[in-house]
Each structure stands twice: as C-alpha cells, then as structure tokens.
Amino acid sequence: MSLPTLLSQHIVRRPQRIALLQHIVEQGSITRAAKSAGLSYKAAWDAIDELNNLAQKPLVERVVGGKGGGGARLSSEGERVLRLYQKLQALQAQVLEAAEDASDLDLLGRLMLRTSARNQLHGTVAAIQPQGRNDLIRLELAEGIALEAQITHDSTVHLELQVGTEVMALIKAGWLELLGADQPATPGHNVLRGTIEAILDAEDGPSEVRISLPNGQTLCALAEPLHLRNQQLAVGSAVQVQCAPSNVLIGTPL
C-alpha cells in the first residue's frame, strides 16, 4: 500500500517534523527526541499529532509511563515512513544539484500548501450530494470515521473531486465545539466522539484541548475554562466534538 500523496508532500515540505521520527528511535523518549530535534516538548507532540492525522495509520504510538515526560515508539507504518524519508534525503541532494537556478526551488516552495488550520485530517471522498449551488462532501477518515464538508459546486469542480479522491480536511481549532458525552448535538453538524487527553490552560484566553479519536487521529479545539467546567469536561473525559460542515475546508494536492 503506497503512502498518501498528501503525506508524501508533507515529508518534502516539513523535513524537520519527519526527522523527529528518527530522533524518537534514537532517544527513546519524547523529551529527549524533542531536544535533539530542536523542538519544544509541545511542538514535538504537535508534530506527532499532525503526522498521525495525515497518515492512513498512526506513525507514532504512545507508551504510558515512558521516561523523560512521555514515551513513544514508531509503529510499523512509522518505520516504513522513516525509511522513505531516508531515501528522500538522498534524492534531495540530487535535486539540488539538478536545479538550474535557485529561483526554481523558490517557485516550488510557493506552490506547496501551507495552512494555519490546526486540524489537518487525511481522508477520502466517499460521496458527493448536490445541494443547490453547494455540494455536501462526505469524507471517510481512517477506520471509517465520517466527516462532512459543505462547499460550493464550483469548488467541487475546481478541486476535481470525485468518489475515491484523497483529500485533506482542514478545521480551525476555534471552529470546534466541545460537548459532554450525553449532551444533545446541533442537528446537521458533524459530531466526532473521542477522549480528552490534555488541556493546556492559557493565562489569558481559551484553553487548548487535545482530543484523541478512536482511529488514532487527534483534534485540537479551543474552549473557555468555564465552558469546560459547565460541561464537566476534564482530562480523561469522553467528549463530543461538533462543527458545521461549512467550517470544514478541503484541500487537494496540486
């Protein structure tokens, strides 16, 4: 099974984060791997979450009770991606030698997608339902989890979407709403169920909440501490994450 195109592009565009896989193998802990890679502990986990979300299967598996602030190891898929990255390093040297002008590489850099959206989830188009001038795009994430996006029909045509197309679903952290496991969700909204694995409080503003989904992907949401208390949400709590289909953006490879 070949790697998704989106993950392959990420390897080329964000080599420091892919290289973190090698540091995890060498150092045996997230804390030491982050230091070795020149990342903060938080940035290292952000990178791991992003890589796991983009892959069809998690690349890094968490190990409870690891040394140095949290353990992790590569899955078999992670080991495969690492081998690919090492091959790409050798190919990169050849590409740099072959470039006729430095501006060639600058042009390629501008053409690659970068986004501020915290949640980037790899998925496949499972269905396209026309709704007037809009289309409701049903996406299938890893392990069969469904997510819907509402985009204009023009966007569907422009992105050349059809059943089976691999895409990246983009959702800003502020667009996600957290609800208790038994709270009624808003009709027509996406509802994903997961478990709160971390809450990072801010001195002024909403807390950053990390939610682990059953398929190994991770969502990042922003929530006011008062809202979390009212919904009785804490680390380890079951939680519903909802968002409107219109707040799910879709990206495809160029």
Phi (first) and psi of residue 210, to 5 degrees? -100, 130
Q: How confident is the model at residue 3 (pLDDT cuts 50, 70, 90)?
A: very low
Q: Determine the longest span between alpha carbons in the chain, in angstroms.
A: 61
Residue 251 lies in a domain: no
Instruction: Pick the closest to residue 237 from 249, 226, 245, 229 (CA basis).
Output: 229
Q: How confident is the model at residue 14 (pLDDT cuts 50, 70, 90)?
A: low
Q: In the prediction, which pLDDT does 1 show?
A: 34
pLDDT over 70 (residue 100): no
**Domain holding 35: CATH number?**
1.10.10.10
Residue 253 lies in a domain: no
Task: Judge if 222 and 179 occupy the same domain.
Answer: yes
Tokens of 217: 């992907």
Instruction: Pick the closest to residue 167 from 18, 56, 1 (CA basis).
Output: 56
Q: In the prediction, which pLDDT does 163 show?
A: 97
Residue 78 lies in a domain: yes
How many residues does this entry show for the chain?
254
Residue 81 lies in a domain: yes
Range(s) of the domain holding residue 239: 173-246
Task: Judge if 156 and 226 occupy the same domain.
Answer: no
Task: Judge if 146 and 177 occupy the same domain.
Answer: no
CB 25 within 8 A of CB 60: no
Residue 118 lies in a domain: no
The angle at the Cα of 154, spanning 152 to 158, to the nearest 5 degrees, equals 120
pLDDT above 70 as % of the chain: 79
Task: Judge if 10 and 95 occupy the same domain.
Answer: yes
Q: How confident is the model at residue 66 (pLDDT cuts 50, 70, 90)?
A: very low
pLDDT over 50 (residue 6): no
The tens digit of pLDDT for each residue in 203-229 reads: 888 999 999 999 889 999 999 999 999
Q: In the prediction, which pLDDT does 145 show?
A: 94
Average pLDDT over residues 56-83: 77
Instruction: Pick the closest to residue 215 from 139, 154, 164 (CA basis).
Output: 139
Task: Judge if 101 and 141 occupy the same domain.
Answer: no
Q: In the prediction, which pLDDT does 191 show?
A: 97
Establish how many alpha carbons lie within 13 A of residue 88's alpha carbon, considering only the half-sphere containing its beta carbon.
17
Task: Judge if 139 and 186 occupy the same domain.
Answer: no
Residue 200 lies in a domain: yes
On average, the pLDDT of the chain sits at 83
Report the relative pairing of strands 177-180 and 166-171 from DSSP bridges: unpaired
Tokens of 184: 């009624």
Most confidently modeled range among 118-127, 200-209, 228-237? 228-237
Q: How confident is the model at residue 251 (pLDDT cuts 50, 70, 90)?
A: confident
Residue 252 lies in a domain: no
Task: Judge if 138 and 221 occupy the same domain.
Answer: no
Average pLDDT over residues 166-173: 91
Q: In the prediction, which pLDDT does 7 show?
A: 45
CB 211 within 8 A of CB 158: no
**Domain holding 187: CATH number?**
2.40.50.100
Instruction: Pick the closest to residue 163 from 126, 138, 133, 200 (CA basis).
Output: 126
Task: Judge if 155 and 233 occupy the same domain.
Answer: no
Count: domains in the chain:
3
pLDDT over 70 (residue 2): no
Average pLDDT over residues 233-248: 96
Task: Judge if 83 and 141 occupy the same domain.
Answer: no
Most confidently modeled range among 38-47, 101-110, 132-141? 132-141
The tens digit of pLDDT for each residue in 133-158 reads: 999 999 999 889 999 999 999 999 98
pLDDT over 70 (residue 13): no
Average pLDDT over residues 170-175: 93
